[in-house]
């Protein structure tokens, strides 16, 4: 099974629930990437400094975003999972970022209630404590700090609401189908 091509992007589109494939578990410092064509994981790099992912990080299958990759997802989790884990998640919003590859929207999601009810009250980015949102922004800015050719190109934009984010996921899914 190919985790990118064979899994639907939506677990329940009406409810705004996606399927997410984990690349990097919460607390990890190894950046794994899924080879979408051949269907395997490889170690892309070890983070260049003492930093870790404060969330499970991965992608939405069957999406193709403006940067040429599947849409990125930061999943707020209670405990880390593992690379290749497929999680049903509820979209909360997104964070606009730009890097050396161009515009790169980071979808913010939480596990569906059946998986982990601790996140039920998070409906929009503003429901996430301001300090945690600042940590998420800092993560995407500072993760490339020691990669000199990339760091100056990282720009953190605005938080976007759920409806905007869902429309971007639909667009990325359509782009996947037409590629």
What are the binding residues for substrate? 31, 45, 57
In the annotated binding site for Mg(2+), the residues are: 67, 72, 104
Structure tokens at 21: 């494939």
Q: How far apart are CA 155 and CA 145, in angstroms?
A: 12
Let me know the angle formed at the C-alpha of 157 by 151 and 51, rounded to the nearest 5 degrees: 45
Let me know the angle formed at the C-alpha of 87 by 85 and 90, rounded to the nearest 5 degrees: 155
Q: How far apart are CA 34 and CA 44, in angstroms?
A: 9
Structure tokens at 41: 């994981």
In the annotated binding site, the residues are: 31, 45, 57, 67, 72, 104
Q: How far apart are CA 80 and CA 112, in angstroms?
A: 15
User: Residue 21: which H helix or E strand, with range?
Assistant: strand 17-24
Among candidates 21, 81, 89, 87, which has minimal Cα distance to 55? 81
């Amino acid at each position: 099974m190919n985790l990118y091509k064979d899994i639907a992007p939506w677990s329940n589109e009406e409810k705004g629930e996606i399927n997410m494939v984990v690349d990097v578990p919460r607390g990890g410092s190894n950046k794994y990437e899924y080879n979408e064509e051949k269907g395997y994981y490889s170690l892309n790099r070890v983070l260049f400094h003492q930093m870790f992912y404060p969330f499970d990080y991965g992608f939405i299958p069957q999406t193709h975003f403006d940067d040429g990759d599947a849409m990125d997802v930061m999943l707020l989790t209670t405990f880390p999972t593992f690379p290749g884990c497929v999680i049903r998640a509820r979209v909360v919003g997104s964070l606009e970022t730009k890097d050396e590859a161009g515009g790169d929207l980071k979808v913010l999601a939480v596990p569906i209630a059946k998986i982990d009810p601790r996140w039920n009250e998070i409906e929009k980015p503003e429901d996430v404590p301001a300090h945690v949102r600042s940590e998420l922004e800092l993560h995407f800015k500072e993760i490339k700090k020691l990669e000199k050719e990339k760091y100056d190109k990282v720009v953190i934009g605005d938080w976007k609401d759920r409806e905007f984010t869902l429309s971007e996921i639909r667009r990325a899914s359509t782009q996947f189908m037409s590629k």
